[in-house]
Amino acid sequence: METKLARISQLSGEHPDMVFTSIGHLINKELLKECHKEMDGKKAVGTDGITKEEYGARLEENLEELEEKLKKKAYKPKPAKRVEIPKENGKTRPLSIYCYEDKLVQEALRRVLEAVFEPHFYDEMMGFRPGRSCHKALRKLNGMLEKEKTNWVLDADVKGFFDHLDHEWIIKFIESRIKDPNIIRLVRRMLKAGIMEDYRYEETEEGAGQGSVCSPVIANIYMHYVLVWWFKEKMQPIMKGYAGLVVYADDFVVCFQYKTDAEMFYEYLKRRMMHFGLEMEEKKTRLIEFGRFAERNRKERGDGKPETFTFLGFTHYCSHGRTGKFRVKRKTSKKKLAKKSKEINATIRDMRFLRINQIVKKLNEILTGYYHYYGITDNSRSMNSFYNVVWFRLFYWLNRRSQRRSYTKEGYKELMRQFPLVRPRIYVSIYG
C-alpha cells in the first residue's frame, strides 16, 4: 500500500496539473490495517467508548465491515466528543475526540491527501510535514533574520484558525487536485460529523476539529492556497525589496526589507483572509522594526532597544556574538516558562507521597522532554530557570509530606546527590 501511495505522490510531483479522479479505492482493508497497527492506543476514547485493544479483538471482521460501508457509501462518522483545554491566557480551546474507527478512516484519508498535496507545498510551510519540524522552522527563520536584508518583521496571528476554516473552501481546494467523488464525500462527511458536548449534539458548520488526524493536512492545504501560494506567486514579485515567510500550522512570521512593503502586504493580507472566511487578530498582530540595523536606527531616533517577538514558544531578540557581529538570539517565552512551571508544580504536588526515586524518575522524563525542545542555541539561562523551578518546588512539596520527615537545605542537597535531577543541556544548534 505504501508503494501505491508513493506512486501517487510521484505522479503528483511530476505532473503539477494532474487531477486524480479515481483514488478512493486506496482506502481499503489493507491500508486501514496499516493505520490500525500504527495508531496510538493510549489516546482518549470517543463517544462510543471503544479502545484500540477492543477494536483489535475483532480486527478482521471490523475492517471488513468498515470496508464494505465505505464501498457502499454508507460510512458516516460519529460526532466527536468536545472537551475544553486550558490556554495560557486563561481561556480554553476546544479539542475534538473521535471514535476509534473514525480515527482509522481519518488516518487513511490523511495519507491519501498527503500523497497528492505534499509535493506541491512550498518550503515556507514547516508544520506537520515529513522531514520538517519546529526546530527546522526556527532555523529557517534565523537565516531570514541574520542573512537576508530583514529590517521589519510582521508577527501575525489568525483569529481561531482551526475553528473558522470554511468547509466549502476546503472542498474547492481539495477538488483542485482530487475529483474523486468518494474522497470528496468522505471529507465532507467528516467535516459535518458534528460534536457532542454535555450530551448535546451540535452541528459543525465551519472548522476542522483540533484532535482530528486529518486536521493538520487540511490546515496545510488551506494555508497553502490562502497564504503561501499567494505570497510566493503574487506578492513577492511586486515587493520593492526582500520579503520572506515561514509558516508552522497557523503560526507565521513575515520578514521585510522595507516598511512600505510590510504595510502594503498586511493590508492585502487582511482582505485575503476575510475572503476565505478568516480574520487577523489585530490586537496580537504586530509590525516591528527588527534586524541588523534596527538597534542603530532606533537609537538614533531615541526609540530604545528593538522590540521582540515570539514564534513557536521562543522570544526572539536582537543581540551580538562574541565578535560583535549581529545575531538573533532566542529564549523560552515568559508565557511558556510560566505555563510549564505551573504544570510542573502541580505534577510534583500530586506525586509528593510517592517514593523519591519514583518522583525523580518521572521528573527526569519531563525535564528531558523539555530540554529536547527548548535546549536550543543561546537558551541556557531560560533552561536553568526551569531546572531551578523544579529543584525548589520539589524541596517545597517534599517538606509538605510530613513534619517528621522534612528536609533541611543540606539534607535536601544530599538527597539530590543520591537522586539527581537531569541538568539542562543544549540539544539543538540553530545553525544546523
Task: Please name the residues in contact with 94: beta carbons below 8 A apart, sequence gap of 6 or more.
Answer: 82, 83, 84, 85, 163, 209, 210
| Contact yes or no for 121/248 (Cβ under 8 A) | no
**Which pTM value belongs to this model?**
0.93
**What is the residue-level pLDDT of the chain in tens, covering all 432 positions?**
678 999 999 999 999 999 999 999 999 999 999 999 999 988 888 888 999 999 999 999 999 999 999 999 999 999 999 888 877 666 778 889 999 999 999 999 999 999 999 999 999 999 999 999 999 999 999 999 999 999 999 999 999 999 999 999 999 999 999 999 999 999 999 999 999 888 889 899 999 988 899 999 999 999 999 999 999 999 999 999 999 999 999 999 999 999 999 999 999 999 999 999 999 999 999 999 999 999 888 988 988 889 999 999 999 999 999 999 999 999 999 999 999 999 999 999 999 999 999 999 999 999 999 999 999 999 999 999 999 999 999 999 999 987 667 899 999 999 999 999 999 999 999 997
Cell numbers linked to 251: 503560526
Residue 211 phi/psi, 5-degree rounding, is 125, -20
| Contact yes or no for 228/125 (Cβ under 8 A) | yes
pLDDT given for residue 404 in this prediction: 64
pLDDT given for residue 82 in this prediction: 87
Amino acid identity of 87? K
Terminal-residue alpha carbon distance, the chain: 34
| Contact yes or no for 230/124 (Cβ under 8 A) | no
pLDDT given for residue 27 in this prediction: 97
| Contact yes or no for 63/36 (Cβ under 8 A) | yes
The widest CA-to-CA distance across the chain, in whole angstroms, is 75
pLDDT given for residue 299 in this prediction: 85
Strand pairing partners for 319? 327
Rounded-to-10 torsion of CA 389, 394, 396, 400: 150
Q: Look at strands 251-256 and 286-289 and give their pairing.
A: unpaired
Sheet holding 243-248, edge to edge: 243-248, 251-256, 152-157, 286-289
> In which residue are the cell numbers 515561514 written?
246
SS3 string, the chain, reads CHHHHHHHHHHHHHCCCCCECCCHHHCCHHHHHHHHHHCCCCCCCCCCCCCHHHHHCCHHHHHHHHHHHHHCCCCCCCCEEEEEEECCCCCEEEEEECCHHHHHHHHHHHHHHHHHHHHHCCCCECCCCCCCCHHHHHHHHHHHHHCCCCCEEEEEEECCCHHHCCHHHHHHHHHCCECCHHHHHHHHHHHCCCEEECCEEECCCCCCCECECCHHHHHHHHHHHHHHHHHHHHHHHHCCCCEEEEEECCEEEEEECCHHHHHHHHHHHHHHHHHCCCCECCCCCEEEECCCCHHHHHHHHCCCCCCCEEECCEEEEEEECCCCCEEEEEEECHHHHHHHHHHHHHHHHHHCCCCHHHHHHHHHHHHHHHHHHHCECCCHHHHHHHHHHHHHHHHHHHCCCCCCCCCCHHHHHHHHHHCCCCCCCCCECCCC
51/120 Cα distance (integer angstroms)? 36
pLDDT given for residue 376 in this prediction: 98
| Contact yes or no for 149/240 (Cβ under 8 A) | no
pLDDT given for residue 89 in this prediction: 67
| Contact yes or no for 46/81 (Cβ under 8 A) | yes
pLDDT given for residue 295 in this prediction: 86
Amino acid identity of 381? R
27/70 Cα distance (integer angstroms)? 8
| Contact yes or no for 45/204 (Cβ under 8 A) | no
